[in-house]
Amino acid sequence: MTEERKIFFGIPSYHRAAEQSTLEMLEGFGIEPARILLGVQCADDLETYKKYGGRAIILYRPGASKSANANQMLDYIEQLHYGSRLVLMDDDIKGICFLSSGKKLSRIETRQEFLSMLNVGFSIAGKHKAAGFGLYPVCNGFFMSRSYVPKSICIGTLLGLTVTRQRFREDFPVKEDYEYTASAMERYGAFPRLNNFSCDAKHYTKGGCDDLWQDNHTNKDCARRLCELHPRTVKPNKAKPGEVRMAHESRAIPYRWKYERKDKQ
């Protein structure tokens, strides 16, 4: 398989059969249906998601968490193509933004730009012997920068993963992305975050993990357990109860992306 063909795209989804913005985005980039995995976990979703059967591979395994849904995709790819790459994505991504001129944001528009971003992420991960990478958590040009950090817990809106035997912990109903990336850092020594890219997604909308995120007890409990499991990697965020941050911040390393050519003065 060529490097491009070794990349699969996984969309764990729950009760959102009416709208699949991430799938539409991937189709707009010309990603072939055979490389897109759409994962569901309940019989109702299996029935209602059948309409996407010609546009993606529908995976079904009973479960009750985003972690379990993501794990069925990792298991599927490992059985077929161990060492391949899975770009794990939330099902509500409208687009991917990047820093263009100054602090202005532009949106990735072409297949070439999209695949270039992924290649940059996997190349930087390979440089640091890491098994994946993530993106900046919010589309805000004021805080974003043309840099990456070698070690960071990353939000799971988009994670580029090399398929290994590592899996998401299914006892984390939320913050499973932070647990996975913290574990990956401890196992491989790094997990880079690209600071010049971020997903424009409809966070906290009906479906998915929204109810659990609104459950303050669950959120705080997972944050506490994260700090207990990974005390050298994460610590409580005193400014935001129920959240965590890196125990030791990683120094940002500047770099430029070749498609930074929009909105030039």
Confidence tier at 214 by pLDDT (50, 70, 90): low
Of 64 and 133, more confident: 133
Q: Are strands 7-12 and 36-40 parallel, antiparallel or unpaired?
A: parallel
Confidence tier at 181 by pLDDT (50, 70, 90): very high
89 neighbors 156 (Cβ within 8 angstroms): no
Q: Which residue, 88, 53, 87, is CA-closest to 67?
A: 88
Bridge partners for 33 per DSSP: none
Rg value, the chain, Cα = 18
**Structure confidence at residue 209 (pLDDT):** 46
End-to-end CA distance of the chain: 41
Does the pLDDT of residue 4 top 70, yes or no? no
The pTM for the full model equals 0.93
58 neighbors 40 (Cβ within 8 angstroms): yes
**Structure confidence at residue 2 (pLDDT):** 46
Tokens encoding 52: 């996407």
Does the pLDDT of residue 204 top 60, yes or no? no
d(CA 63, CA 247): 32
Tokens encoding 120: 């940059």
* Burial (CB count within 10 angstroms: exposed 0-12, middle 13-18, buried 19+), residue 93: buried
| pLDDT tens per residue, range 57-111 | 999 999 989 999 999 999 999 998 777 999 999 999 999 999 987 889 999 999 9
- For the ranges 77-91, 159-173, 209-223, 249-263, the lowest mean pLDDT is seen at 209-223
Q: What is the mean pLDDT of residues 173-178?
A: 95
**Structure confidence at residue 261 (pLDDT):** 64
**Structure confidence at residue 3 (pLDDT):** 60
